[in-house]
Amino acid sequence: MAKRTVKSLPLLLLIALSPAFTFPQTVPPQSDLMNMSLEDLMKVEVDSVYGASGYQQSVNDAPASITIITADEIKRYGYRTLADVLRNVPGFYVTNDRLLSYVGVRGFGPPGDYNSRVLLLVDGHWLNDNVNGGAVFGTEMPFDIDLIERVEVIRGPNSSVYIANALLAIINVVTKRGRDVNGLSVSEEAGSYRTSMSHLTYGRQFTDGLDVLLSGSYYFSHGPERLYFPEFDNPASNNGIAENADGGRFDHLFAKLAYRGFTLAGSYGASKQTDPTASWDTIFNDPEESFRISPSFVDLSYEHHFGSDWGYVGRVFYDDDRVYGTLPYDESEVGGPPHVLNQIANDGQDVGASFELSKKLPLGRTVILGAEYRDNFQQHQWDYQSQPHVQFLDSRRQSNLWGGHAQDEIPIRSDLTLDLGLSSTIIPPSAAPPVRVPD
C-alpha cells in the first residue's frame, strides 16, 4: 500500500490524509507482484523523486500524488514533445491552437493562461518566463525530448517549497547524463509535409569523473498545403482555405557538464511557427502571421552531503526568454491601409541564486530550509504597428523577488507522515511603471 502523507499550505497547517499515487517504471505489474516471494519483493526498486520537496526522496515518502514517466516509456510510446507525455498522464489534458500547447490539470485550464499555474523545472531549474509566468511544453522547449531521463509530475499546490507558479502542479524534467549516452548518436528523420529532423548528441564520462553531454537538433516542416476553416468560408477569405500557412521549424542546443558535485547546464532554443487560424481578428490566409519563441538558460549548481544526515544544494542561474509575433491587419474600414503589420514582443531576462539545506533528525524526521533570490532586471513588452509606425505599448519593468521556505516531515506511524510547510515571499514594487502609448 502506498504511504499516506500530509501536506500543508503556506501559512496554514492543513492536516489531511492522501495517498501518494505513483506509476514507477521499475515496479513490476501487480500480477507479477502477487506471485513474488517475500525476498524478491524486498528487492523491488522504488522510484525516487526530487520535485516534490526539493530533495531526492522515495515516491512513497513524497507529500503529493506523483506520476513518473521514464525515458523507456517515452521511447516505447513514441512521444515527440513534453506535451505528448503530459497528454497521457491521469488528470492532465493538453490543447493546441497550432501555436502553443496548453496544459490543464483536473479540469482547470483557462484560455489565455499561458501555463502560468504550472511550474516547469529542468533538473530543478525554474523554466517559467518572468513576463507572463508561462511555460512551454511543445517544440518550443529549448532541448530535445530524447535528452529526457524521466519526467516527474507532482500534482497539487506546492508553494511551501516553490515560490510561484506551483498552484496546480510541478513538472520536473530530469535530463540524461553523458554516461547515459556513452558515445556519439546521430539521427536523421523524414516525414510527410516535407518534414525533416536532424539530431546529434555526444555523451561520455571520463576517468577523472567529468561527465559531458552535448546535443543539438534541427527540425523543419512545411505543414499541410491547404487547411479548411468553415468560419472563413466566403469568397473574400479564399473560401475558408488557408494555403501554405502551417509550417514550423526549431533549433535546439543543450550542454551539461558535471564534476564532483558541480553541474553546469545551459540550453538555447529558437522556434518559429506560422499561424493559419487568423488569431486576434487578423487577415485570414496571410503567410506573414507567425510567432518566434526563444527560451534559453544557464544554471550552475553544487550539491554536497555530510555523511548521511546533512545535505545542501546551491545554484546560480541566468534566464533569457523572448517571444516575437507578427500579426497582419486590414484597417481599410477605419480609413487605414488594407495591410499593416503589428509587431508584439515579450523580452524577459533574470539572474538569481537559491540555497537549500536538509537535515535528517532522529525518529525519521527531515527538516528543510531554503531561500531564493531572483532579479528580473528586464521585463519588456511592446506592441507597435509598422508602415506607418504607430506605438501602442512600451512597457519596461524591473522587479526583485525574495523568498524563503521551511518544511518539517514528521513520521507519526509507519504509514502516516505529517508535513508542515511555511513559505514567505517578498516582491518589492516594480522599479519602473509601465508606459502605455494611447491608441
Q: Sketch the domain layout of the chain as residue ranges.
A: 4-436
- CA R_g for the chain: 24
Q: Are 57 and 49 contacting, i.e. CB atoms less than 8 angstroms apart?
A: yes
CATH 3.40.50 fits 4-436, yes or no: no
User: What is the C-alpha to C-alpha distance for residues 22 and 2, in angstroms, rounded to an integer?
Assistant: 8
pLDDT tens track for 132-173: 899 999 988 999 999 999 999 988 766 445 656 778 888 999
In this prediction, residue 161 carries a pLDDT of 59
Nearest to 325 by CA among 363, 271, 258, 373: 271
Question: What is the residue whose three cell numbers read 539545506?
Answer: 357
Please tell me the predicted confidence (pLDDT) of residue 429: 63
Task: Establish whether the linkage from the previous residue to 388 is cis, with ω within 30° of 0.
Answer: yes
Strands, DSSP E only, in 240-289?
A: 241-243, 248-259, 262-274
Residue 68 β-bridge partners: 152
Q: Tell me the C-alpha distance between 100 and 273, whole Å.
A: 9
Please state, in angstroms and rounded to a whole number, the distance separating the CA atoms of residues 420 and 434. Answer: 39
The length of the chain is: 439
The pLDDT of residue 247:
94
CB 347 within 8 A of CB 376: no
Exposed, middle or buried: residue 389 (CB in 10 Å: 0-12, 13-18, 19+)? exposed
- HSE (side-chain half, CA atoms, 13 Å) at 355: 4
Looking only at the bridges linking them, the beta strands covering 48-49 and 57-58 are antiparallel
Q: What is the pLDDT, as a whole number, of residue 11? A: 32
pLDDT value for 111: 74
* Residues of the chain falling short of pLDDT 50: 1-31, 33, 38, 41-44, 46, 51-52, 159-160, 431-439
H/E stretch holding 404 reads strand 390-413
